[in-house]
């Protein structure tokens, strides 16, 4: 368990950690691989979300998946880039969170995942929480306790909370 005082000092809510959907590079399921490659090579992220036309998260896509789809033993069939759709190649999102997911769970999921998709009602894609954003907050917190006085203050705060 993470003490609520510690949790609160690291982050107030998932929204603090979240990159909102408008700022998340993504593709749509019915885009071609050509379009997917264009987006991925422009944004320089290893893996991005795949959305349906009604903004639901339905998959994840990366460059290796697309290259594999157009590669045979003999050749790379570049012409297929305009024939194959992202939805034929994407993988299922391994995991997602909601705004109610506990901080503890987010922390443990981010040990294994570079980012977590945040979904709202009916699977609507709200944004992502990345390892970088979480580590930025944790980094700020650990540096906020730099001497005995900081530590004493924190312990006092916890004691006050426990005695409430």
Residues binding ligand AMP (CB under 6 A): 19, 23-25, 45-48, 114-115, 128, 130-132
Residues whose CB is less than 8 angstroms from the CB of residue 21 and which lie 6 or more positions away in sequence, other chains included: 55, 125, 126, 127
Q: How far is the CB of 116 from ligand AMP (least distance, A)?
A: 9
Residues in the chain: 164
CA–CA distance, 29 with 61 (Å, rounded to integer): 10
The answer to whether residues 60 and 38 touch, using CB atoms and an 8 Å cutoff, is no
Q: How far is the CB of 157 from ligand AMP (least distance, A)?
A: 30
> Which of 47, 84 has the CB closer to ligand AMP?
47
> Which of 19, 85 has the CB closer to ligand AMP?
19
CA–CA distance, 31 with 49 (Å, rounded to integer): 13
> Which of 70, 128 has the CB closer to ligand AMP?
128
Q: How far is the CB of 152 from ligand AMP (least distance, A)?
A: 34
Q: Residue 102 is encoded by which pair of tokens?
A: 């506990």
> Which of 131, 152 has the CB closer to ligand AMP?
131
């Amino acid at each position: 368990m993470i003490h609520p005082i510690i949790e609160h000092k690291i982050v107030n809510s998932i929204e603090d950690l979240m990159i909102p959907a408008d700022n998340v590079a993504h593709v749509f399921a019915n885009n071609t691989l050509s379009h997917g490659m264009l987006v991925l090579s422009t944004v320089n992220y290893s893996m991005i979300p795949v959305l349906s036309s009604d903004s639901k998260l339905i998959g994840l896509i990366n460059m290796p998946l697309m290259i594999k789809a157009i590669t045979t033993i003999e050749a790379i069939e570049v012409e297929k880039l305009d024939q194959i759709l992202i939805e034929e190649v994407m993988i299922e999102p391994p995991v997602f969170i909601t705004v109610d997911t506990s901080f503890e769970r987010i922390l443990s999921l981010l040990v294994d995942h570079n980012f977590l998709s945040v979904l709202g009602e009916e699977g609507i894609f709200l944004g992502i929480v990345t390892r970088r954003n979480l580590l930025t907050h944790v980094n700020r917190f650990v540096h906020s306790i730099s001497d005995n006085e900081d530590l004493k203050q924190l312990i006092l705060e916890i004691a006050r909370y426990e005695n409430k």
